């Protein structure tokens, strides 16, 4: 059996096993996807143990997803790292190659782009986009948002120096796409935007949305990268100010779909699985 898993700490609430099990079922792929709680400071040992235990059982460990807090150290174990993961300075997908080497990638950004463009039906080409936050979540999606053709992206952060650093790292990519890329403090964001993405942890800690509602163009798409209660404050704010709110569930399913394709070479029916997941969450499961 080909084995996969999500590794993190904590990891018990991850929905990835359920999403990948459904992808595998719908695609007729023989694989098993579990979850592994990795002690802090023991990530490399966690990877080694997963591969060793699989081999001892006669199975084959083929890859894993990486979540908090290990996304930043995963690249160090890999022989090859994709350009988008290098730019993001974070990895969420490892593929174990037949020769024993490890390929590292980051599917978070393309997952967000695919959810916005395909599932929400909002093309990003030529659009003005505000990215709120400059931590790991924001850095993970900026490159793919530029690749998707947004003509102007503003990164706004409480600590403006972090926004400046992320923007500087992506300056060459923005130039290559002919896009404008700027860093601003939260209370100084200039103009209004077609798409606003919240990549901060402000809702998690119960704080108000950290930007003025003037950033929302009428009918703007406002996406929180979280879902459930953690996204509720931002979504209510967006709706109250004439924007179309969207949570991060679609991004979650779409980043999983991209990982699944990297591992299995087949695109799973992600929109169907997203609809099923929404229905089952709405029913309280």
- The binding site for ligand ATR (CB under 6 A) comprises 133-138, 157-159, 162, 199-202, 205, 207, 210
Quick one: 3 exposed, middle or buried, by C-beta within 10 A (0-12, 13-18, 19+)?
A: buried
Contacts of 229 (CB under 8 A, 6+ apart): none
* CB closer to ligand ATR, 111 vs 210: 210
52 is in an annotated binding site: no
Q: Measure the CA–CA gap between 235 and 37, rounded to whole angstroms.
A: 31
| Smallest gap from residue 100 Cβ to ligand ATR (A) | 30
| Smallest gap from residue 141 Cβ to ligand ATR (A) | 10
Determine which one of 71, 127, 246, 264 is catalytic: 71
| Smallest gap from residue 58 Cβ to ligand ATR (A) | 37
The values of phi and psi at residue 211, to 5°, are -125, 160
Q: Measure the CA–CA gap between 115 and 49, rounded to whole angstroms.
A: 34
157 is in an annotated binding site: yes
267 is in an annotated binding site: no
* CB closer to ligand ATR, 132 vs 150: 132
* CB closer to ligand ATR, 205 vs 283: 205
| Smallest gap from residue 78 Cβ to ligand ATR (A) | 20
* CB closer to ligand ATR, 250 vs 268: 250
137 is in an annotated binding site: yes
158 is in an annotated binding site: yes
71 included as an active-site residue: yes
Residues in the annotated binding site for NADP(+): 133-137, 157-162, 225, 248
- The residues annotated as belonging to the active site are 71
Residues in the annotated binding site for shikimate: 14-16, 67, 92, 108, 227, 255
């Amino acid at each position: 059996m080909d084995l996969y898993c999500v590794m993190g700490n904590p990891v018990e609430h991850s929905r990835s096993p359920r999403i990948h099990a459904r992808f595998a079922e719908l695609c007729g792929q023989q694989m098993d996807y579990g979850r592994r709680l990795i002690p802090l400071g023991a990530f490399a040992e966690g990877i080694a143990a997963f591969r060793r235990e699989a081999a001892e059982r006669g199975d084959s460990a083929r890859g894993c997803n990486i979540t908090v807090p290990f996304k930043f150290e995963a690249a160090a174990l890999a022989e090859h790292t994709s350009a988008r993961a290098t730019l993001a300075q974070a990895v969420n997908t490892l593929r174990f190659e037949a020769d024993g080497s490890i390929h590292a990638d980051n599917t978070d950004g393309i997952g967000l782009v695919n959810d916005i463009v395909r599932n929400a039906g909002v093309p990003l080409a030529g659009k003005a986009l505000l990215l709120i936050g400059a931590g790991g979540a924001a850095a993970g999606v900026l490159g793919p948002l530029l690749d998707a053709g947004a003509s102007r992206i503003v990164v706004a952060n409480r600590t403006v120096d972090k926004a400046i650093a992320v923007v500087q790292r992506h300056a060459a990519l923005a130039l290559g796409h002919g896009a404008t890329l700027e860093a601003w403090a939260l209370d100084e964001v200039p103009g209004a935007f077609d798409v606003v993405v919240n990549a901060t942890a402000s809702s998690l800690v119960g704080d108000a949305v950290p930007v003025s509602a003037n950033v929302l163009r009428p009918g703007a798409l406002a996406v929180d990268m979280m879902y459930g209660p953690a996204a509720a404050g931002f979504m209510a704010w967006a709706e109250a100010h004439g924007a179309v709110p969207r949570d991060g569930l679609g991004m979650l399913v779409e980043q999983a779909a991209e990982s699944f394709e990297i591992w299995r070479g087949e695109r799973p029916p992600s929109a169907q699985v997203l609809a099923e997941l929404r229905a089952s969450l709405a029913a309280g499961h």
